[in-house]
A and B are shown apart, each in its own frame.
Chain A
Amino acid sequence: MNCPLSRNGPELRDRQIIKLAIMAVGGQGGGVLIGWIESLARAQGFVCQATSVAGVSQRTGATIYYIEMMAAAEKQPVFALAPSAGDVDILIAAEMMEVGRAIMRGFVTPDRTLLIGSSHRALAVSEKAAPGDGIADAGEVVAAAEIAAQRFILADMDRLATAHGSVISASLFGALAGSGGLPFSRGAFEEAIRSGGKGVEASLRAFAAGYDVAEMGGTETDTAPEAPAQVIVGPQAQMTLWTALQMRVKELPEPVQQMALPGLVKVVDFQDCAYGAQYLERLEKVVARDTATQNWSLGIAGAKYIARAMTYDDIIRVADLKTRAPRLKRIREEMGAKDTNLVELTEFFHPRAEEIASLMPARMGARWEASPKRMALLNRMFKKGRRLRSHTLPSFLVLYFLSSLKGFRMKTRRHAVELAHLERWLTDSLALTKEDYGLAVEMLKNRRLIKGYSDTHARGLSKFAKVSGAVEMLRGRRDAADWMRRLREAALQDPEGKALDGALDTVRSFV
């Protein structure tokens, strides 16, 4: 094990050169930031040298910019062209995982590195593409940064910048100024932005926000918005029913309540209070088999997944959600539309024959589904996707009509299918409670696999069947619940279910 060369060793003579690296994602404006730092240093009588890598490898990929500077002397210093591990004074990382990458590459060391990072995430393709939750753990990076950096300033620099109508390079430049890492005054930093001449005012505002955060040591001044409170309104008769349902929830064990209330809201919102009562009936049956000694895991899983199963994604629900009043308001806000702007909406629908048949009355729908000829007819009719300009009346009325089919929903083919599936799943899962409590909980949780529309939904169903089907192999084993969980997680790794097949092979190998 070799000892790192310390910056403070008496025999070392490169103490005058300040070394600063920027790690960014292509397209984040790292070039602008390095340009500002360079013009700042030169204006302050420093000699400096900046380098970057331009070219195709920049496009949306991880990129690095590097600058070295020192107070001008009679002779010209020799600067390096790229950062070295263990030899960086200031590291600016414009994204959370780039903070991690900087640490991984050894550019952040406890003896010398001031680390300025943005906590926001620009997800990598590998994180986004997983059918489950593939998002990397920022907590691990923060923990590593606390150890690796001499000083660590972390804030959502992207939010700070966009809040002031600017981009992240400005807030990071502000944070660099506020950190005191460079021997230049705030005014000198601001002058560099002014001399750049583009979007100066917005940049200066974002700069100030970044400056303040860094000066405070990296804690953001404005706190996150409080969680919204739910307000429930409606006709008196229904409010009475709702209050009764709420009371029933209060009868449940405390930990289950916390999941049951949102579950109930979701189910009632999906259909009505009567449907909500059905939800609670099912849930109460689950809770009856549960005990406090198991931390009510079965009840909590039941509360969550029964609600999910009962609020399946049919055309009626989609049409309902698309035609609600708060939606347009939300969209206007998201798009940053001003009062004088109009917002026009286009919805992309592509129902298949299966979705159309599932809207029919249960027996009729079953007949149509069984007839290839009729399905072919539906397929011809709905071959092309529908684009609904939902801000116009004709399109809105189509959606409005579809949403009004809510009253008819309980009679549809889809409801019959979903209900049957729900009951089977619930019965099968609960049947295991006595024999293997943990396994029963995992069986309930397998419901997570069912999601999406059309083919995606079908694929989810088949994965659910595959995973849950493994129960016969696992029953009686002490680690059955653990394996069931592993199978489910494997199923969420890739769309084709390759990881799942591999995991199933493993299970088969030991049973």
Chain B
Amino acid sequence: MAERSFKAEVEHLRKGAGDVFTGEGILAITKALLENGVGYVGGYQGAPISHLMDVLSDAEELMAELGVRFEANASEAAAAAMLAASVHYPIRGAVTFKGPVGVNVASDALANLCSSGVKGGALIIVGEDYGEGSSIMQERSHAFAMKSQFWLLDPRPNLPSITKAVQDGFELSEASNTPVMLMVRIRSCHVTGSFTTRDNLVPPLTVKDAIANPESDFNRVVLPPMSYVHEQDKVKNRWPAAEKFIVENSLNEIFGPEKAKLGIVVQGGMYNGLIRALQRLGLADDFGETEVPIYCLNVTYPIIRDEFDRFCEGKDHVMVVEEGQPDHIEQQLGAFLFKAGRQLTLYGKDVLPMAGEYTGQVMLDGVTAFLKQAAPDLLPGQVRAPNREASQIPDLSKTVPVRPPGFCTGCPERPIFAGMKLVEQELGKHQITGDIGCHLFGALPPFEIGGATMGYGLGPAANAAFDGGGDRRAISMLGDGGFWHNGLSSSIGNMVFNKSDNVVVIVDNYYSAATGGQDVLSSRAENGTKSTGNPISAALKGVGVEWIRQIDHTYDVSKVRDTLNEALTTEFKGPKVIVASSECMLNKQRREKPVRTQMIKEGRRVDVPRFGVDADICTGDHACIRLSGCPSLSLKRLDDPLRDDPVAYIDQTCVGCGNCGEVADAAVLCPSFYRADVVHNPSAFESWRAGLRSRIITWLQARRSARCLQFEDVVP
């Protein structure tokens, strides 16, 4: 089960013609897919479109009613490959994954798909993970559209525009026999708003119908000589068809006055940011009525030359707002202008930065710089000639600490890294590669364990250069998500085949946890529509790994340490794989907490563990924190003039995972930690026994205190 449930929201997907839907972008996209008679959907989770997969998964019942097939694909490549159904059959299909990394993985299938061309509309919904909040390298998916030739939609970020783009995308795809990529940026996925719905549409041809009447056409196979024909077909037929459709249906939009000496060309997704800058300069009102003409590219590939030419008519200055680099659009527009021999100044990456997110300030600065050159009289006086300095706000950059993401409270991965840290202290530093997933946080303080990551499931593959061995074995991390995505073949298979002598630690937390807790093959949860419970260790054996150690309780830090120690020092030659399994605490708590509360209410015996620190025993060295970093393990200053440093302190968010006690023990730290189990609804015997113990203990305490001075703090 995914971290977030959309069961309640999914009911809104049943809305019919004329109703108003209010909610998040991803739900709106799902609704639009159903309204457009999609026949099959799939994808691979990853921010920012993880929740789109969750919505689809939660909407499986509704989709089954409509005859729509939902597939939780094994990877982005698998998802893109699924669109093959639209090559031979007039069925609309949609898949989703994140970009650009998901597009990287999918690119092989996408290239083949684009060469073959499609009969049914094929839509690839990409969540572009770029700018603030992104967790990946900063690149663009745009180039994939250019190289494989599919069309790229980048609609304005509001629900009516995004849902319209879904419809436009399918139709454009069918009109040009080309797949279409619908790009939504990080915030667009979770932007809320409203749009008017239409009835859901049963696909005219369902996948069930299609499989009953199979079709094939060798002209669609990517093999010579057809592949040469495909290339010609792309430029001679599909491209012109696409341009015709885009122009005739006005997919791109023009705003503002018709006659002006200047104008701005903007990616649809950046439109709101541009309008905000103009609003702040007094050049647009709350509703986007602008004094500067805007050519809004809801289709960012291909660029329609005729449309652009018409927009440039009578203008002396045109600015391009294009986020990220390279500046594909600006280069294209520059080439158009040059070939047309126009005397027009093109602005873009000169007034705006080449790289990085176009935040509100960047956009304001860029537009201001453009207008200062192109039309200074449009700018408000205070911008042209400021007469007042901004008030000086003290610089806090030295004070405010950075707060990168990290392991959650009670995370089962924390003790794995604590164990690794202890091994490092004992055996020295090792060559370590990371992988994609929460375990990458191990590379951050306080652990600082791990190195570069080369991609999902590629942790061990990234250590392949060291497979030949040496004085110290290399260690690679791999998550269960990465293992099933790509790791089994590309990493583990690679190690077995090349007789690697290195060590792999597979972090098995029962979910694809970093993307929001979706199930994977080895998940322990019962899943009505998916096959779970396939152990990683069985797969390892299957590909020929002989040295496998399964740790079923990662919180046993000593065991993690000793097992890793063994893997690093054993005489055994060949890949050594440790599977460290414990459930993701975020998901475990979400599952268990309501059950526990219910049980307490019902009067059943429940034992709730939590950790604590004896403040008078803690000396304030914080060694425990350097082996933990748990959010619930914090510090507090004591009201004691004799103390200089704050002491460790565990707040009430502690889930009693046990890491603190294990680390204190394994690292021989200090005796200030204790675990307190609060027993709710104890049995009569337990209560009687506890009373007896308490009487004896109290008597012993009284006996001792009668003989010496007692300093007691009394709260007045």
| Complex partner residue of A5 from B188, B382, B402, B707, CB under 8 angstroms | B382
What separation, in Å, do the CA atoms of A403 and B157 have in the docked complex?
Answer: 68
Residue of B nearest to A11 (CB): B282
Question: Shortest CB–CB separation between residue B50 and chain A, in angstroms?
Answer: 7
The residues of A that contact B188 with a CB separation of less than 8 Å are 81
Do the beta carbons of B644 and A448 come within 8 Å of each other?
yes
Chain A 95-112 interface mask (CB, 8 Å, partner B; 1/0): 001001101101010100
The residues of A that contact B712 with a CB separation of less than 8 Å are 230-233, 326
| Complex partner residue of A391 from B22, B394, B693, CB under 8 angstroms | B693
- Is A272 an interface residue, CB under 8 A from the partner? yes
- Is A49 an interface residue, CB under 8 A from the partner? yes
Stretch in A138-146, A182-190, A200-208, A413-421 touching the partner: A138-146
**Interface residues of B, CB < 8 Å — how many?**
143
- Is B364 an interface residue, CB under 8 A from the partner? yes
Chain A interface: which size bin? 35 or more
Do the beta carbons of B132 and A453 come within 8 Å of each other?
no
Within A89-143, the residues touching B (CB, 8 Å) are 97, 100-101, 103-104, 106, 108, 110, 121-133, 135-137, 140-141, 143
Do the beta carbons of A57 and B612 come within 8 Å of each other?
no
Residue of A nearest to B661 (CB): A348
Do the beta carbons of A335 and B709 come within 8 Å of each other?
no
Chain B 352-385 interface mask (CB, 8 Å, partner A; 1/0): 0000000111011000000000000000111100
Q: A144-B394, A400-B700 are in contact. Are A51 and B646 (CB under 8 A)?
A: no
Q: Which of B405, B444, B625, B679 has the most CB of A within 10 A?
A: B405
Within B593-624, the residues touching A (CB, 8 Å) are 607, 610, 612, 614, 616-617, 619-623
- Is B47 an interface residue, CB under 8 A from the partner? yes
Within B627-672, the residues touching A (CB, 8 Å) are 629, 631, 633-635, 637, 639-642, 644-646, 652, 661, 664-666, 668-671
- Is A77 an interface residue, CB under 8 A from the partner? yes
The residues of B that contact A122 with a CB separation of less than 8 Å are 631, 634
Do the beta carbons of B623 and A3 come within 8 Å of each other?
no
What separation, in Å, do the CA atoms of A313 and B616 have in the docked complex?
Answer: 10
- Is B390 an interface residue, CB under 8 A from the partner? yes
What separation, in Å, do the CA atoms of A304 and B159 have in the docked complex?
Answer: 66
- Is B514 an interface residue, CB under 8 A from the partner? yes
What separation, in Å, do the CA atoms of A133 and B638 have in the docked complex?
Answer: 12
The residues of B that contact A135 with a CB separation of less than 8 Å are 635, 637, 646
| Complex partner residue of A84 from B50, B288, B364, B665, CB under 8 angstroms | B364
Question: Shortest CB–CB separation between residue B286 and chain A, in angstroms?
Answer: 5
Do the beta carbons of B394 and A53 come within 8 Å of each other?
no
Question: Shortest CB–CB separation between residue B681 and chain A, in angstroms?
Answer: 8
| Complex partner residue of A230 from B282, B390, B713, CB under 8 angstroms | B713
Q: A55-B50, A61-B403 are in contact. Are A242 and B709 (CB under 8 A)?
A: yes
Stretch in A339-347, A435-443, A472-480, A501-509 touching the partner: A339-347
Within A46-90, the residues touching B (CB, 8 Å) are 48-64, 70, 73, 75-87
Stretch in A209-217, A257-265, A358-366, A424-432 touching the partner: A257-265
| Complex partner residue of A55 from B47, B271, B272, B714, CB under 8 angstroms | B47
- Is B191 an interface residue, CB under 8 A from the partner? yes
Do the beta carbons of A9 and B621 come within 8 Å of each other?
no
What separation, in Å, do the CA atoms of A262 and B406 have in the docked complex?
Answer: 40
Do the beta carbons of A59 and B678 come within 8 Å of each other?
no
Q: Which of A87, A141, A342 has the most CB of B within 10 A?
A: A342
Stretch in A170-178, A282-290, A316-324 touching the partner: A316-324
Stretch in B145-153, B173-181, B464-472, B682-690 touching the partner: B682-690
Do the beta carbons of B272 and A79 come within 8 Å of each other?
yes
What separation, in Å, do the CA atoms of A6 and B516 have in the docked complex?
Answer: 41
The residues of B that contact A97 with a CB separation of less than 8 Å are 400-401, 403
Chain A 10-23 interface mask (CB, 8 Å, partner B; 1/0): 01111011000000
Q: A59-B438, A266-B642, A454-B669 are in contact. Are A82 and B714 (CB under 8 A)?
A: no
- Is B626 an interface residue, CB under 8 A from the partner? yes
Do the beta carbons of B133 and A231 come within 8 Å of each other?
no
- Is A349 an interface residue, CB under 8 A from the partner? yes
Do the beta carbons of A3 and B387 come within 8 Å of each other?
yes
| Complex partner residue of A125 from B380, B406, B680, B714, CB under 8 angstroms | B406
Do the beta carbons of A144 and B273 come within 8 Å of each other?
no
Do the beta carbons of A124 and B701 come within 8 Å of each other?
no
What separation, in Å, do the CA atoms of A78 and B640 have in the docked complex?
Answer: 56
Q: A3-B388, A106-B361, A128-B622 are in contact. Are A347 and B671 (CB under 8 A)?
A: yes
The residues of A that contact B427 with a CB separation of less than 8 Å are none
Do the beta carbons of A322 and B614 come within 8 Å of each other?
yes
Do the beta carbons of A77 and B47 come within 8 Å of each other?
no
- Is A292 an interface residue, CB under 8 A from the partner? no
What separation, in Å, do the CA atoms of A12 and B276 have in the docked complex?
Answer: 11
Do the beta carbons of A273 and B709 come within 8 Å of each other?
yes
Do the beta carbons of A6 and B382 come within 8 Å of each other?
yes
| Complex partner residue of A100 from B189, B386, B399, B678, CB under 8 angstroms | B399
Question: Shortest CB–CB separation between residue B380 and chain A, in angstroms?
Answer: 5
What separation, in Å, do the CA atoms of A100 and B399 have in the docked complex?
Answer: 8
What separation, in Å, do the CA atoms of A387 and B666 have in the docked complex?
Answer: 12
- Is A147 an interface residue, CB under 8 A from the partner? yes
What separation, in Å, do the CA atoms of A100 and B607 have in the docked complex?
Answer: 40
| Complex partner residue of A132 from B387, B645, B682, CB under 8 angstroms | B645
The residues of B that contact A234 with a CB separation of less than 8 Å are 705, 708-710
Do the beta carbons of B132 and A82 come within 8 Å of each other?
yes
- Is B92 an interface residue, CB under 8 A from the partner? no
What separation, in Å, do the CA atoms of A153 and B50 have in the docked complex?
Answer: 36
Do the beta carbons of B399 and A27 come within 8 Å of each other?
no
Q: A51-B191, A84-B359, A342-B679 are in contact. Are A56 and B438 (CB under 8 A)?
A: yes
- Is A307 an interface residue, CB under 8 A from the partner? yes
Do the beta carbons of B641 and A259 come within 8 Å of each other?
yes
- Is B697 an interface residue, CB under 8 A from the partner? yes
What separation, in Å, do the CA atoms of A81 and B409 have in the docked complex?
Answer: 30
Do the beta carbons of B399 and A103 come within 8 Å of each other?
no
- Is A250 an interface residue, CB under 8 A from the partner? no
Residue of A nearest to B446 (CB): A129
What separation, in Å, do the CA atoms of A227 and B676 have in the docked complex?
Answer: 27
Do the beta carbons of A453 and B693 come within 8 Å of each other?
no
The residues of B that contact A321 with a CB separation of less than 8 Å are 614, 616-617
| Complex partner residue of B393 from A16, A63, A144, A258, CB under 8 angstroms | A144
Do the beta carbons of B397 and A9 come within 8 Å of each other?
no
Do the beta carbons of A144 and B515 come within 8 Å of each other?
no
Question: Shortest CB–CB separation between residue A125 and chain B, in angstroms?
Answer: 5
What separation, in Å, do the CA atoms of A38 and B192 have in the docked complex?
Answer: 9
Do the beta carbons of B621 and A456 come within 8 Å of each other?
yes
Q: A3-B388, A84-B361, A129-B626 are in contact. Are A27 and B408 (CB under 8 A)?
A: yes
What separation, in Å, do the CA atoms of A38 and B612 have in the docked complex?
Answer: 39
The residues of A that contact B401 with a CB separation of less than 8 Å are 97, 124, 126-127, 136
Do the beta carbons of A265 and B280 come within 8 Å of each other?
no
Q: A85-B361, A124-B401, A232-B710 are in contact. Are A129 and B669 (CB under 8 A)?
A: no
The residues of B that contact A263 with a CB separation of less than 8 Å are 642
Question: Shortest CB–CB separation between residue B254 and chain A, in angstroms?
Answer: 16
The residues of A that contact B715 with a CB separation of less than 8 Å are 225-226, 228
| Complex partner residue of A81 from B272, B621, B646, CB under 8 angstroms | B272
Do the beta carbons of A54 and B50 come within 8 Å of each other?
yes
What separation, in Å, do the CA atoms of A125 and B445 have in the docked complex?
Answer: 7
The residues of B that contact A324 with a CB separation of less than 8 Å are 701
Do the beta carbons of A56 and B693 come within 8 Å of each other?
no
In addition to A54-B47, A77-B288, A233-B710, 9 A-B residue pairs with Cβ atoms within 8 Å of each other are A51-B192, A56-B135, A76-B158, A87-B360, A122-B634, A127-B635, A322-B617, A342-B686, A403-B704
5 tightest Cβ-Cβ pairs between the two chains A and B:
A84-B360, A55-B47, A53-B133, A61-B405, A3-B386
Can you list 18 contacts pairing A with B, beta carbon distance less than 8 Å?
A: A5-B281, A12-B380, A53-B132, A57-B133, A57-B134, A60-B631, A76-B158, A78-B286, A97-B401, A125-B444, A128-B635, A235-B707, A337-B678, A343-B676, A350-B669, A385-B664, A393-B697, A453-B669
